Amino acid sequence: MGVPPSPPPQGRPVEGNLVRRLPKLLCSLLLVASGAPDTRSVTPLGQIVPAPASVRPGGEPYVISARTVIRVPGQSREARKARTAAEQLAGVLRPSTGYRLPVTTRGGRDGIVLKLGGDRGLGAEGYRLDSSRASVTIIAPKAAGLFYGLQTLRQLLPASVEKAERQPGPWKVAGGTITDEPRFAYRGAMLDVSRHFFTVEQVKRYIDQMTLYKINTLHLHLSDDQGWRIAVDSWPRLATYGGSTQVGGGPGGYYTKDDYREILRYAADRQLEVVPEIDMPGHTNAALASYAELNCNGVAPPLYTGTDVGFSSLCVPKDVTYDFIDDVVRELAELTPGRYLHIGGDEAHSTSHEDYVAFMDKAQAVVGKYGKTVVGWHQLTGAKPVKGAVAQYWGTAGTEQEVVDAAKAGTKLVLSPANRIYLDMKYNENTPLGLSWAGYVEVRQSYDWDPGAYIKDTPSSAILGVEGPLWSETLSTSDHIEFMAFPRLPGVAELGWAPPSAHDWESYRTRLAAQGPRWEALGIDYYRSPQVPWPGK
């Protein structure tokens, strides 16, 4: 058994008058006199987010130096993926340390060593990290595990390692062993690129931020009333006209297929699966505005730049609706390497229940026809979810009977309770961005619940994972994204990754606080929650 990870932050600059400093000074003298290693400037092994499954501190730290080599032996596909991850880490470390840090296929026992193998029980995403005087060795059955081990290593280094200019070291990694694997397979973040469009570069920036915390799924909300954001060759006006504006009337935008492939490539290099969402039958004004024939009355409505929901619907009785869905789903499925295709299905207030059920039957069949697994917002459970479908829960109570029944019948759930992890909810009444229909969501409120016990009468085994959606009615820049996602997104990641035994607010707020300087080094804007003991505050 490892030690639960709850160490206090260490290594803060000594402040205050001599009287206050005296105990610390004495302590340092004693340490030096006793020959014990000076670990004050080292991040304690368990002080990372998400909390690792097991931590066994001990032994001397590893010190990254000018001679450090990153070893990733092997020629398999997995080994090549691991080398990509190693190059990414080296890309972070080289500017700040000033060291060469070559990535090599040559084996050896010293340096930073990434090895495929080890305990297969760790699964596709687990890893073990051993840190000692000679090396930091990460061993994992799959490249994904090595990637996550590297994210852990990154957090164990001082925050200044994230800076783009050379910084003073030392670059120590505390000694000991971390053995780690995720609690849930699905750990997601959603970005609404429809209400406001975000460029490929902005999406990549958010991807970089989510991978720090071992998030493995990026859900892109690609269509809504205010904008259609993905090129569809067989219905070109969806993007060129339907994507031509956004909330507030700005120019909007859309991803060409090459843009989208670039997002997919960037995501895959960071172990992220992308889940594309085309929301239907509601939330479809942008499509209805682009093609008159999709409307029951044959008249295209104007483009919409407000923030109301629930006023639009595809025309359920018309055949052309299903030609449209077939084309869109086929083209999107062709682009998508991942398993899932999200068909929305929320807030279809302008569709009768009967029509909704009939529509969802047909739409789910199309997704199946093109080889993808259906994901829908949890209203799908009020229709007839197909076998294998996943429902994304966004309510606030966890008691809806149709959700409970669907879970019992085998529908897996992704949990995004709005009063917990809707990242667009304001933190408090003074938050300048965001909405508040599900209440204010401070950091503790966001973190302090158990996804395994959240849905009434439903065992943890029915839960595929968690996802933090970021709706963008009020958000239009990367700073906006970051201010709402940080510090809550790392909490989503911890809920998805850490074992229930590690769930502890006091430990979490301390570990989260230690992330603040890292975000500052990375230029990530974040909400300085008074619930978190940020260093130097």
Instruction: Using CB under 6 A, list all residues that contact ligand TNX.
Output: 309, 346-347, 377, 394, 422, 424, 435, 471, 473
Structure tokens at 126: 């687990």
Closest CB to ligand TNX among 87 and 347?
Answer: 347
Minimum Å distance from CB 325 to ligand TNX? 19
What type of residue is 303? Answer: L
Closest CB to ligand TNX among 141 and 451?
Answer: 451
Is-contact 302 312, C-beta < 8 A? no
Rounded-to-integer distance, Cα 373 and Cα 487, Å: 31
Minimum Å distance from CB 471 to ligand TNX? 3
Active site residue 347: yes
The per-residue DSSP string of 324-381 comes to HHHHHHHHHHHH--SSEEE------TTS-HHHHHHHHHHHHHHHHHTT-EEEEEGGGG
What type of residue is 510? Answer: T
The per-residue DSSP string of 90-133 comes to HHHHHHHH-----EES---SSEEEEEE-S-GGGTTT-EEEEE-S
Closest CB to ligand TNX among 309 and 522?
Answer: 309
Q: Which residues sit opposite 228 in a β-bridge?
A: 223
For tokens 């069949």, name the residue.
365
Q: Which residues sit opposite 71 in a β-bridge?
A: 104, 113
Closest CB to ligand TNX among 277 and 520?
Answer: 277
Minimum Å distance from CB 169 to ligand TNX? 44
Closest CB to ligand TNX among 343 and 404?
Answer: 343
Minimum Å distance from CB 193 to ligand TNX? 12
Closest CB to ligand TNX among 323 and 346?
Answer: 346
Closest CB to ligand TNX among 172 and 221?
Answer: 221
Minimum Å distance from CB 439 to ligand TNX? 11
Structure tokens at 349: 């207030």
- CA 311, 316, 322, 326 torsion-angle sign: positive
Structure tokens at 275: 């889940």
Minimum Å distance from CB 429 to ligand TNX? 17
Is-contact 273 215, C-beta < 8 A? no
Neighbouring residues of 96: CB distance < 8 A, sequence distance ≥ 6:
160, 161, 162, 163, 164, 165, 166, 167
Rounded-to-integer distance, Cα 121 and Cα 36, Å: 36
Is-contact 451 413, C-beta < 8 A? no
Minimum Å distance from CB 483 to ligand TNX? 16
Question: Which of the following is catalytic: 60, 78, 87, 347?
Answer: 347
Neighbouring residues of 145: CB distance < 8 A, sequence distance ≥ 6:
122, 123, 124, 125, 126, 127, 138, 181
Measured in whole angstroms, the distance separating CA 403 from the mean position of its chain's CA atoms is 24
Closest CB to ligand TNX among 140 and 425?
Answer: 425
Residue whose C-alpha is closest to residue 320's, from 292, 339, 347, 285 = 292
Q: Which residues sit opposite 469 in a β-bridge?
A: 190
- The catalytic site residues sit at 347
